[in-house]
């Protein structure tokens, strides 16, 4: 499976797509990047005169790259039209702020994938290689009823 095919199958679009590029994917994990462009709408109010990427957006970025992209890879192109991907939990630790125009890299490692449930450990680093956040993410891949 081509890495660009995984991105095309993500159930997101601009302005809520937080994956620019996937660098690697295999049965154990995935690695990808995203640049938080200064024009993104949430920077207008978070925070006044000192924009910082909200933690919920960092979590979403880690989930899109580290969990959903990995899930699509593990399903091996078997995403059907009625597939539903649901984010079920996150246990996050935020270590450094991410500012507008920063490029981050997310690396995830599968903890388990069974019965449609995927759990993985993910780390986000900045361009200097510093950890900005890390966490355990989980989600379910199922079909609409």
Catalytic residues: 46
Which letter does DSSP use for residue 43 in this model?
A: G
Which residues make beta-bridge pairs with 89? Answer: 138
Rg of the chain, C-alpha, whole Å = 15
Burial of 24 (0-12, 13-18, 19+ CB in 10 A): exposed
Concatenated DSSP letters for 73-140? Answer: HHHTT---TTEEEEEEEEEEEE-S---TTEEEEEEEEEEEEETTEEEEEEEEE-TTS-EEEEEEEEEE
Write the CA distances from 81 to 75, 78, 142, integer angstroms: 13, 10, 11
């Amino acid at each position: 499976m081509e890495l660009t095919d995984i991105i095309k199958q993500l159930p997101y679009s601009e302005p809520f797509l937080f994956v620019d590029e996937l660098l690697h994917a295999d049965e154990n994990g995935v690695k990808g990047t995203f640049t938080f462009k200064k024009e993104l709408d949430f920077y207008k109010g978070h925070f006044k005169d000192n924009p910082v990427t909200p933690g919920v957006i960092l979590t979403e970025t880690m989930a899109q790259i580290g969990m959903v992209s990995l899930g699509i890879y593990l399903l091996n192109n078997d995403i059907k039209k009625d597939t539903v991907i649901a984010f079920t939990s996150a246990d996050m630790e935020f270590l450094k702020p991410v500012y507008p125009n920063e490029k981050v890299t997310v690396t995830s490692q599968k903890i388990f994938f069974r019965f449609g449930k995927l759990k993985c450990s993910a780390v986000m680093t900045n361009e200097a290689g510093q950890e900005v956040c890390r966490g355990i993410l989980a989600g379910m891949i199922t079909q609409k009823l």
